[in-house]
Structure 1
Amino acid sequence: MAAAPPLPRPNRFDVSIAVGGLLGGVTMWALGLYTSGSGLLPADWGLVPLVVMAALELLRRSRPSFALVVGTLALTFDMLTPGNAATIIMYTDLAYAAVLYGTPAAARRIPVTTGLATVAITLGFLVWWRDPQALFVGLGAAIVSFGPAATGALVRDHRDAAEAARLRAEQTALLAEMDRSQAVTAERARVARELHDMVANHLSAIAIHSTAALSLDDPATSKDALAVIRENSVAGLAEMRRLIGILRDSGAGTEPAVAPTLDGLTALVEGARANGLDVTLAGLGGGPLPAPVELAAYRIVQESLTNALKHAAPGPVRVSLARRDGALEVAVSSPYGAAGGEHGDGDGGPRAPGSGAGLVGMRERATLLGGTFAAGARGAQWTVHATLPLADTPPE
């Protein structure tokens, strides 16, 4: 059989109450100061409930219900002696502590029990004495038992309310920190997508044409390649300056007015043709679209053309946009090679390195708008297909 756990060390304040009550009670006994006890037992017997009550004060926090029950018996014994005020005062503290530190059930039960006991004592003495003076006995019982218990209940309610308010404040602070972390993460992902989509296209063109300029000993070809390199480096620098402006702007959480739209797809396709892609564009027109949808569609086409420039085999690249069932469908197809990064170049490797972040960014853009995204090889073609809902579109 497991041994009972040892009692915790008494609180220093409880020790002070016990010592102070014991010394005060002994002093009253030595001076012959007594309450209106019955006196059925000699005054010296009053030291017994005094010592018991002082010892119970050491248990007022760790064993409050036990201390109150034993204290009630000690108080009853004290009434058979001339009575000691210190014993009564320490009992009132035990009644208070039993409600304040006891279980919730005890905290609800003790005030009711002491209240009923006070009423019963009052009625009993009224019937016995048949004198209104019996009301003072009931008043004394209320002061000794019901009053401390009711006070403990009030203090406990205030303490529980304060603890609940503290917990709510901590939960609110935790939720606010989680919201802040999620907002920071979402903003970092948005900036990462913008940085990748704005710069990758230009850097890929620079990498491809610089390779051509280094590998071909043809002044005309090298000059054309350098012209494309300069054009893309200037455009990339402008995009970088735009991104830095977004980050420095106090309202960086909103998309700036100069964000790309579908009206810029024609220029984007022309730039891809200048970089050597055989691109065709179909499906523009049909009225304005929500700004987040236009931005997402533009970036998906831009990244698809960048991937085609880096990885596609020679052949036509087709870009199409169409409205169907309340959504904008974006489709890009390019010749699929047998090797390479996201899809091969047909010559055993990609013409420019890729990390796969482009596919992740396109999928994120579609998902944020509540749409779908798919990319992969279909026969001899690498296809990218995105569906972007036009209704109830959240801002990116």
Structure 2
Amino acid sequence: MGRYLAVGAVLTADAAVLTAVQHGNQGIFGLLVVAAYALTGWTAYLAGLTLTSRADTATVAGTALAAGALQVVLVPAATPQHVSGFVVFFLLPLLVGRYLAQHRTLVRTLDAHNRQLRTEQALLAEREQLRERLRIARDMHDSLGRRLGLVSVQAAALEVGDLPPEQKAAVHALAGSARDAVSELYQLIGSLRGAADETPGADAVPALVAEFRAAGVEVAVTGVCGPLPESASRAVYRVVEEGLTNAAKHAPGHPVAIHLTRETDALVVTVSNPHTGHAEPGGGFGLAGLAERVAAAGGFLDHRADPGSFRLVAMLPTTAFEPRPGAGRTRVTLVGVGTAVLLFLLLPASLMTGVS
């Protein structure tokens, strides 16, 4: 677009010079000259802002040289003042616009670089935290786990020994406490390691369903998931996992239905089970955290208790969001169209008034 605006500015400047040479700067012709030069400067400035390639710059430079030569050949009466007016009202605004465009590009590049640095720093910090979590979990497993395991084994050996009833009761309580401590320790280790593990994607849903079926939960799956962005795929797994977990917790022994509906630009995941009258699942890190994960993937989550059933519904995008490359150029396009209309109105008037 920049080269077209520049060509329009050159033509407008030529019209101004022709009008000034043949009719002077008096009366209406003086106003036309001023308007033409003002339009030249504004159009040249917009051209400088929108030039994007060396080819466009070469086109503008060639047009300006051709216009200068054309003034010397076709308008012999043109004075150095007229030529200098062409230079001032065309070349200077063009250079100013080009400088501002390059400055804006540099600022945007620096901003993008800074954002990338901040993102990389956050990832490095998170990675370091995850590494520390794994180290703590490994140390707890290797030291505390082994020691508590030995305590549990020794207490169990004492339980079968020939001891007075009072001592047997104390040993039994000790063995139970040791087993509880081991269980809680491994749960803690699992939570520490789980924070470091990546969330599986939608392709792991069949294995998740098989695991719940093996535990005695009746699960029916219908529909096809299809390809998804990475964030949406992980959100699908979490939605199904949360739905199955809530169903097993709040409606044990009842069947669970998972339905996947693939639309043009969205995937709807529905997990439903009979409503048994218990409190509706929610709060904590379950549905609240799931809603945040789904929103981060570009979708939304809804859960509600209908008469006789509970439903967990998530809608997720099937394609990643990509901004349009031409976004934000509407205003420049309108200015260019308006400039072209003004050129068509001014050039004939200026040229025809110069015909003797």
Structure with more contact order per residue of length (Cα contacts < 8 Å, sep ≥ 6): 2
Going by fraction, where is helix more abundant, 1 or 2? 2
Q: What is the TM-score when the length of structure 2 is the normalising length?
A: 0.40
Structure whose alpha-carbon radius of gyration is higher: 1
TM-score normalised over the length of structure 1: 0.36
